[in-house]
Structure 1
Amino acid sequence: MVNVCQTVVPDMLQRNYGDVIIYGSTAGMIVTAKFGAYGATKCANNFYTKVLIEENKKSKIRILLVCPPAVDMPLLKQAEATDQPDIFNNSFFNSYLTSSPEDVVKAVEKSIKNGKKVCYPRSAKISSFLNRFM
């Protein structure tokens, strides 16, 4: 992600036009057992993107950080198969704390259209808010 940004952002700045969309995660904000490596990489994505946004706020390029909750994809299915699947077999988790890939794409499109800097699909905004108090 850093290498791609270091490659494309200078050209976008020179053109004074372009969109950068980086996927972080609420997993980079909320400590979750068994998600150490994944959470650390997403935390790095979140932080790097926020710095990139700040450093380029006077330019015309648009940079968007996407922080979805758990997304119903193969990685989530793999996590469900771990030795501690209870969190994933919870109806609250499945109803409110997961998102479909389609929901995420719709939220990204809406965020770009509305000029947002950070996109929190579905319940992710609540997670972001609650994280401030943890």
Structure 2
Amino acid sequence: MAKTQRLDIVTPERVVCSEEVEFVVAPGVEGELGFLPEHAPLVSALKTGVLRVQQDGKTYKVAISGGFVEVKNSRVIVLADTAEREDQIDVERAEAAKKRAEERLAKGGEGIDQARAEAALQRAIARLKAAGR
């Protein structure tokens, strides 16, 4: 059996996962961060993107938006604004959200909150990437 570490992914609404995994790659604000068991203690901000998790030799993905990761004592804790495992993502809804955000950004104007539209676009893209689209 491969050496494992505990992974907890938590949002304000729910615990997305709490399980033993071999490897985690998180989208840090300064680039991707990879964690193996017994990693040195670390706290980092996360950006919207795809978290990759290796468990039992297989990899699954989780779309996350923002938050923080803390690593210590072979435990990875992800506190994210939102998080969805790849098998929970509604692809049609994510594609529609991407299209709406792109239309808002293309339209521009004073009535459009650019930062909010860009954040919505990034969330939709992350969800589609996690779902394999």
- Normalized per residue, the structure richer in strand is 2
Calculate the TM-score normalised by the size of structure 2.
Answer: 0.26
Higher relative contact order (CA 8 A, sep 6+): 1
TM-score, L = length of structure 1: 0.26
